[in-house]
Structure 1
Amino acid sequence: MHKQEECPLASARVLEDQASAKGRVLRVAAGLFRERGFARTTVRDIAAQVGILSGSLFHHFANKEAILAQLMEELILLVGDAMEAQLCTATTPKARLKVLVACELKAIHGEIGTGFSILVTEWRSLGAASQRQILALREHYEQRWLDCLATLKAQGALAAEPQLARHFIRGAAMETWHWYKPGGPLSVDALADQLVALVVHP
């Protein structure tokens, strides 16, 4: 008898571990990097908000860049986990795109991880070695999008080229940080439906 494939469970990440000191450092750093920027945030700022001495922070991270690098890595993996857990229930390419858009929006607005926008705004703050490491994860993350958009293109449901459509969706999603209010009359899922409708033919 064929066993029905189950959706994978999201794997544990340090960022989401409420009991972990390292997780607290990452969460605090994410908020500060998003609000002040990486350059204007000091190790002392992070330690003060976590409630530890600055020197104690170096038990967990070699330096401030190491915090940013692990934070970016964890954010990509967390959102990827959420996507994979939901994609197995999406039966059409359009439904799969809705999952991708909704998960990215939830990451931007703090429902998955926190500080997802720093992947764009603070990319240049990473050194070359860290950029290479994060870029490999980003390429895997982006491939989910391109595969889905390419299928829609092949079906005639997408007019734009998949890469351009992805750039448009990413930019539109990131821009919602400036105007969308979570908890308002428009839910994140409804917002995702609207964004999908902008690029996919009925």
Structure 2
Amino acid sequence: MIKSFASPTLADMHSQSAPTVETDDGGAPGAATAPEAPRKAGRPRGQGGDGNARRNELIAIAARSFRMKGFDATTTRDIAAASGMQSGSPFYHFKSKNALLFAVMQHGMDKALHSQQRALARLPASAGARDRLAALVLHHLHVLLDPGNDFIAVMVTEQRALLQEHHAAIRDIRNRYEQAWIEVLAELEDQDLLRAPASITRLALFGSLHGTLTWYDRRQKLSLPALAGHYMAIFIAPLPAANAGASTPATRP
């Protein structure tokens, strides 16, 4: 299951060795500068009104930094500077840079799972497997390519930096995200509408969709719905002529 969400050309998350915990610029986390304010005993990191807002801001900034510069090249000082904080302040919300990486992946996948569920729920009750797959493909393109959605690019390129203790949580949410794909592809395989076995189609679909991170440009004329249509044409056999009008167009998530 883990391999199916990442590009097939990338190594599986579990085959990667776990890195050491980040010690920003050679020191212990947060040692250079004290946090903005002491954390009250018993209060979880980043919880409570302003804390949650700041935590989410740090996650978004970190996701962008990890995508643009890479996990290794990004320091907590970089993230703090981008958010207008003191250099040690991110450790008020996250105990290490690795914990922040985990939060980026978990937060992003949780959002993607819920928006995928909403995209499917908007389909009419009569929608068949082909329509559901079209909705899944279009939704995934938006997750990959919409502004501010940097977490999947981070997941694809920075899996080796995820600590072993975080693997199970990411695997669980990723499996739940992929379950809808597994079910709809199985239906299409039963209908003889797949050009390859369902398991291979799923791997190839995710791999090629993730490839858009390297080449798609929103300034070009190719829209995401049009691009989703091309992917459907590549992987799914056309409907018989008598049923061609039955398919409903995919909707934006």
User: When the two structures are superposed, what TM-score results if normalisation uses the length of structure 2?
Assistant: 0.69
For the pair 1:78 / 2:111, whether they are aligned, the reply is: yes
For the pair 1:143 / 2:143, whether they are aligned, the reply is: no
For the pair 1:31 / 2:67, whether they are aligned, the reply is: no
Query: How many matched pairs?
Result: 186
Q: 1:42 aligns with which of 51, 60, 75?
A: 75
SS in 2 for 1:52: coil
The whole-number CA distance in structure 2 between the counterparts of 1:39 and 1:174 is: 22
Aligned-pair distance for 1:103?
Answer: 1.4
Greater share of helix: 1
SS in 2 for 1:181: coil
Contact 1:109 1:177 survives alignment (8 Å): yes
The one-letter code sitting in structure 2 at the alignment partner of 1:100 is: L
For the pair 1:95 / 2:128, whether they are aligned, the reply is: no
Structure 2 gaps, min length 5: 1-46, 239-253
SS in 2 for 1:117: helix
Identify which range, 123-132 or 111-120, moves more after superposition. 111-120
Whose Rg is larger? 2
The whole-number CA distance in structure 2 between the counterparts of 1:180 and 1:128 is: 33
Contact 2:119 2:139 survives alignment (8 Å): no
Contact 2:102 2:162 survives alignment (8 Å): yes
Contact 1:86 1:99 survives alignment (8 Å): yes
The one-letter code sitting in structure 1 at the alignment partner of 2:189 is: K
Provide the alpha-carbon RMSD of the alignment.
1.8
Deviations 1:31-65 (A, max 9, x none): 11111111111111111111101221111111111
The whole-number CA distance in structure 2 between the counterparts of 1:180 and 1:113 is: 14
Q: 2:215 aligns with which of 174, 179, 183?
A: 179
Indicate the residue corresponding to 1:69 in structure 2.
Answer: 102
Structure 1 gaps, min length 5: 1-13
Identical counterparts, % of pairs: 32
Aligned-pair distance for 1:157?
Answer: 0.8
For the pair 1:118 / 2:154, whether they are aligned, the reply is: yes
Q: Which runs of 4+ in 1 moved over 4 A?
A: none
The one-letter code sitting in structure 1 at the alignment partner of 2:172 is: A
Q: 1:109 aligns with which of 136, 141, 145?
A: 145
**Which structure's relative contact order is higher, taking Cα pairs within 8 Å and 6+ residues apart?**
2
Identify which range, 41-50 or 110-119, moves more after superposition. 110-119
Contact 1:78 1:113 survives alignment (8 Å): no
The whole-number CA distance in structure 2 between the counterparts of 1:86 and 1:36 is: 32
Indicate the residue corresponding to 1:3 in structure 2.
Answer: none
Indicate the residue corresponding to 1:6 in structure 2.
Answer: none
For the pair 1:60 / 2:93, whether they are aligned, the reply is: yes
Contact 2:58 2:79 survives alignment (8 Å): yes
Deviations 1:76-123 (A, max 9, x none): 111111111111233111111111111111111134733322112111
For the pair 1:51 / 2:84, whether they are aligned, the reply is: yes
